[in-house]
Amino acid sequence: MPVKVLFVCLGNICRSPTAEGVFQKLVDDSGLSKRIEIDSAGTANWHQGRAPDPRTVAAAKRRNIDLSVLRARAVKASDFHEFDYVLAMDKNNLADLQDLKPADYTGHLGLFLAFGHQTQYLEVPDPYHGGSDGFELVLDLVEDAAAGLLESIQKNKLS
Ligand code: 4NP
């Protein structure tokens, strides 16, 4: 059975698709694409069915990651039956997920950046209403946490 990871933000058009794409590339490059499955979702359904924000797609493309094929969806309670890790981009997302989480969930629900090596940020700042710097910061934070997450999964689930 593959380990399944779900990244969650608010709209599923900026932060969590970035996490999905960055982590997918890392997993692919590590030869683990059959052992780790990845998806993303939003706590809101506002952008359901849409591609990621063009600024998010452009920023990721500069780092050789193609997010244009992804489509937004809302997180649902049944996701907890499927995913071993449900990772929130910020504390608001985490609170919403804790409300949705079935009482019998035995997987890991927490903040994605808790897996990071950097200690300055525990949340991925929402870049939606800001300038282009925000999208670069999202990528920097997500790349750092993705590396830590892969190390943790390899140590605790795949060894
Ligand atoms: P995300 O960013 O949660 O990282 O996808 C946002 C996207 C859209 C909105 C807010 C945040 N919005 O207000 O529509």
Instruction: Tell me how far apart the alpha carbons of residues 37 and 28 are, in angstroms, rounded to a whole number.
Output: 10
Catalytic residue among 39, 53, 79, 126: 126
Query: What's the pLDDT tens digit per position in 62-78?
Result: 999 999 999 999 999 99
pLDDT of residue 134: 97
pLDDT of residue 86: 99
User: What one-character DSSP code corresponds to residue 53?
Assistant: P
Atom number in ligand 1 closest to CA 44? 3
| Annotated catalytic residue 14 | no
Instruction: Tell me how far apart the alpha carbons of residues 159 and 150 are, in angstroms, rounded to a whole number.
Output: 12
Q: Which of 116, 5, 25 minimizes the C-alpha distance to 67?
A: 25
pLDDT of residue 56: 98
pLDDT of residue 33: 98
pLDDT of residue 133: 96
pLDDT of residue 35: 98
11 lines ligand 1 (CB under 6 A): yes
| Annotated catalytic residue 73 | no
Tell me the whole-structure pTM to 2 decimals: 0.98
The stretches in the chain having pLDDT less than 50 are: none
* H or E element that contains 37: strand 36-42
pLDDT of residue 10: 98
Catalytic residue among 14, 15, 39, 55: 15
159 CA to centre of own chain: 23
